[in-house]
Amino acid sequence: MKRLTLWLLLVAALTLAACGADTSNTSPIEPTTSPAIEVTIAPTTEPTAQPAWPQTFTDSLGHDITLDTPAAKIVSLAPSNTEMLFAIDAGSAVVARDTFSDYPEAALALPDVGGGFTELNNELILSLEPDLILAADITPPEQVQALQDLGLNVYTLSNPTTLEEMYDRLRTLAQITATEDQTEQLITNLQARVAAVADKIATVEEKPLVFYELDATEPNAPWTAGPDTFIDHLITRAGGQNVGASLDSAWVQISIEELLVQDPDIILLGDAVWGGVTPESVAAREGWESLTAVQNDQVHTFDDNLASRPGPRLIDGLESMAQILHPDLFQ
pLDDT at residue 13 in the model? 37
Q: For residues 292 and 264, is the Cβ–Cβ distance under 8 A? A: yes
pLDDT at residue 48 in the model? 55
Question: Is the pLDDT at 317 greater than 90, yes or no?
Answer: yes
pLDDT at residue 118 in the model? 79
Question: Is the pLDDT at 290 greater than 80, yes or no?
Answer: yes
Question: Is the pLDDT at 227 greater than 90, yes or no?
Answer: yes
Task: Tell how strand 94-97 and strand 132-136 pair up.
Answer: unpaired
How confident is residue 24, by pLDDT bands cut at 50, 70 and 90? very low
pTM for the model stands at 0.83
Q: What is the pLDDT of residues 92-142, one digit of tens each?
A: 999 999 999 999 999 999 999 998 767 999 999 999 999 999 999 889 999
Report how far Cα 313 is from the mean position of its chain's Cα atoms. Answer: 7
Q: What is the pLDDT of residues 259-279, one digit of tens each?
A: 999 999 999 999 999 889 999
Mean pLDDT of 170-176: 97
